[in-house]
Amino acid sequence: MSKLDHALMQRVKEIVAIEQRPFSFKDLECFTVNGGSYKISHGTFRNKISKLRRQGKVELDYNSSIAFYTLPGFHFGNTMTRDHMGNTTVIGVTELIDFIEKLPLESKSIHDIHMKFSVPDIWAILASDSKYQSIINSKSKDIRLQPLITEDLKIQTAVHHTDTVSVVVGCSHNPVFIEDINGILRLSNGLVRTEERLSRVLDECGEKLPGGYEKIPIPSYVRWIVTLWHFGRDSKAEYSGDGFSMTFGHVKDTLIRIYTKKKNSDRLCIRSEIQQTPNKTIFDAIQEKISLDGLTSWKVIKK
């Protein structure tokens, strides 16, 4: 399996098993896995999906304007919801958007935040320590640290052979509200702890080097670049209908989704989100989102 094939399957598993939705070409046209960025053409996607379907590794879930695929055992089907009488009905795209526009929404929030930065010689220094030699991925050569669980965030750090470090902040069940100072502090505290832990790990490994070690600083988290995040809003009111997931493809360079999400309280809400690649520092990207209504873009699909 090539590096691209491995990354593609890893991203597919994340979408289907973790994000709980089917995938299409738009999800994989440009995607990020473990700090690496990948792009594939529609023809390449079609060939790879055909091969995966023959191997029984993926299945067609349903056809809309484009084809949506899934993994065996995971089926999402067409969008369903309930009317006010409790009857199950198929709902159209325009009707669903009209319904969502009338819902009271929580503040703007972000989750599944992917960040990256570089540290000279970090991979070689960690790889010189037997503690980390044993966890080097045999294919990608990545060194993945144990996830850091803090502030209701699950933060995964991976050191790549290229001396690039990727940090993924998972908080889909409890997203970070960016218009709330407590939300910003929560994210900042988590990233500071990540920065401090990586610095400590690097120093511990460096001090064991036989030729001596000159301290290498970890860049401040405020300079890390956000390569991908999910930005959106959840409905304040609980949703009692059937679960659904709708993906609308790229509009203004974003992947747009509307789906139901179970929160930490186990209540079901409607989440409308856009997946973006800010390629900015975290606070520059957040400031842009506070000043702009990033969700207005998905309304163009009604036209």
pTM listed for this prediction? 0.69
Q: What is the pLDDT of residue 129?
A: 95
The pLDDT value given to residue 111: 92
Please give the pLDDT value at position 267.
77
Q: Would you say residue 299 has pLDDT above 50?
A: no
CATH classification code of 1-77: 1.10.10
Tell the residue number behind the tokens 């640290």, with chain if given.
145
Please compute the mean of the pLDDT values over residues 238-250 and round it to a whole number: 68
Taking residue 256's Cβ as centre, other Cβ atoms within 10 Å add up to 23
Give just the sign of the alpha carbon dihedral 44, 45, 50, 55. positive
Contact 257/21 with Cβ under 8 angstroms? yes
Reported confidence tier of residue 253, pLDDT bands at 50, 70, 90: low
Q: How do residues 35-55 score in pLDDT, each as one tens digit? A: 677 889 989 999 999 999 999
Residue-range domain boundaries for the chain: 1-77, 78-303
Q: Of 50-59, 75-84, 126-135, where does mean pLDDT reach its minimum?
A: 75-84
Q: What percent of the chain has pLDDT over 90?
A: 45
Return the exposure string of 52-79: e unless at least 16 CB atoms fall within 10 Å of the residue's CB, then b: beeeeebeebeebeeebbbbeebebeeb
pLDDT score of 64: 63
Confidence of residue 254 (pLDDT cuts 50, 70, 90): low
Per-residue pLDDT reduced to its tens digit, 99-114: 666 667 778 899 999 9
Per residue in 284-297, pLDDT (tens digit) is 999 888 876 544 44
> 283 pLDDT band (50/70/90 cuts)?
very high
Q: What is the pLDDT of residue 233?
A: 83
Count how many Cα atoms sit within 13 Å of the Cα of residue 179 in the half-sphere of its side chain.
12
pLDDT value for 90? 41
Burial of 137 (0-12, 13-18, 19+ CB in 10 A): middle
Please tell me the predicted confidence (pLDDT) of residue 65.
Answer: 61
Least confident segment among 175-184, 223-232, 264-273: 264-273
Residue 223 has pLDDT above 80, yes or no: yes
pLDDT for the residue 290? 81
How far apart, in whole angstroms, are the C-alpha atoms of residue 121 and residue 215? 11
Residues 133-148, mean pLDDT to the nearest whole number:
92
Q: What is the mean pLDDT of the chain?
A: 82
Answer whether residue 203 shows pLDDT above 70: yes
pLDDT at 93: 54
Q: Percentage of the chain with pLDDT > 70?
A: 80
Determine the Cα–Cα distance for residues 256 and 126; give it in Å rounded to an integer.
Answer: 39
- The pLDDT-based confidence of 232 (bands split at 50, 70, 90) is confident
How many helices and strands in the chain, by DSSP H and E? 8, 17
Identify the pLDDT of residue 99.
61
Q: What is the reported pLDDT for 296?
A: 44
pLDDT at 24: 87
Question: In the predicted model, is pLDDT for residue 303 greater than 60?
Answer: no
Q: Where are the alpha helices (DSSP H) in 62-180?
A: 93-101, 122-127, 130-133
- Do strands 164-170 and 245-251 pair parallel, antiparallel, or not at all (unpaired)? unpaired
CA dihedral sign of residues 69, 252, 96, 260: positive
